[in-house]
Amino acid sequence: MPTDAAALSTALAATWPAAETLRAGPWVLRRGAGGGNRTSAATLEGPPVDPLADPGEAEAIMRGWGQRPLFRVTPGDALDALLAARGYAVHDPSLILAAPAATVAAPPGEAAAFGPGPLAAMAELWAAGGIGPERLAVMARAPGPRTYILGRIADRPAGAGFVAIAGGIAMLHALEVAPFARRRGLGAAMTAAAAHWAAAEGAATFALAVTEANVPARALYLRLGLAETARYHYRKLPA
């Protein structure tokens, strides 16, 4: 099961892709087009990797795109310290949780249905949770295998999610459960159903990213057998 941090980071980027990716020296730069931090953050990648690389060029390109300079870093590494010294603030400390897909998987039953594109009801559920057209465009860019998940309670649309596979790793994104359906097991059922789909598609690993502050979601995923395998946070230049 590929669960090293580098493989998970690669799968995270591949399944939630930026509108444009540009290589500039040791930097990988992403034009987000409104798709959120994951699609907008620059990363320092190699080989070769200079841990003290000057981020000035990367900053200039991001500003040229109309983006505030933003980097995704591993806590405590050399780039994290360099950006802190330049006045960058920590933003959205996050975890990547992973497990063998078969460990998390359970048949969807009536709780979840899968399809090749988002239904209107799913778009409405996402919009209510702050996931708008720009993030729907991110899902549409993912190369796949991929699927959209509609969660249901008593045949009523109650949840939406998206999962895609890259490099044998299935990543769950944008899981949203309507307020009336929370604490009724739908989030767990949809996550397990997503892992079931992933295993059927040949993915060995099932993973997702969650912010450190989202304590209820983290507890849910840990109960399903997912475990912390990597940490990251963003460094954002103050306005």
Domain locations along the chain: 5-95, 98-231
Position 239 scores a pLDDT of: 76
- pTM confidence score: 0.94
Specify whether the backbone of 137 is left (phi greater than 0), alpha (psi in -120 to 50) or beta: alpha
Which residues of the chain fall short of a pLDDT of 50? 1-2
Which CATH number does the domain 98-231 belong to among 3.30.460.10, 1.10.10.10, 3.40.228.10, 3.40.630.30?
3.40.630.30
Q: What is the DSSP letter of 88?
A: P
In 10 A of CB 85, how many CB atoms?
Answer: 8
Cβ contacts of 118 within 8 Å, gap of 6 or more: 126, 136, 139, 148, 160
pLDDT in tens, 136-179: 999 999 998 999 999 999 989 999 999 999 999 999 999 999 99
- Nearest CA among 46, 49, 89, 51 for reference residue 70: 89
Q: What is the DSSP letter of 47?
A: S
Q: Cα(62)–Cα(113) distance, rounded to whole angstroms?
A: 39
pLDDT in tens, 97-121: 999 999 999 999 999 999 999 999 9
Cβ contacts of 128 within 8 Å, gap of 6 or more: 176, 178
Q: What is the DSSP letter of 106?
A: -
Sheet holding 70-73, edge to edge: 70-73, 227-236, 89-100, 205-211, 169-177, 156-166, 146-153, 112-115
- Nearest CA among 186, 192, 187 for reference residue 217: 187
- Token digits for 177? 């459960």
Contact 203, 165 (CB under 8 A): yes
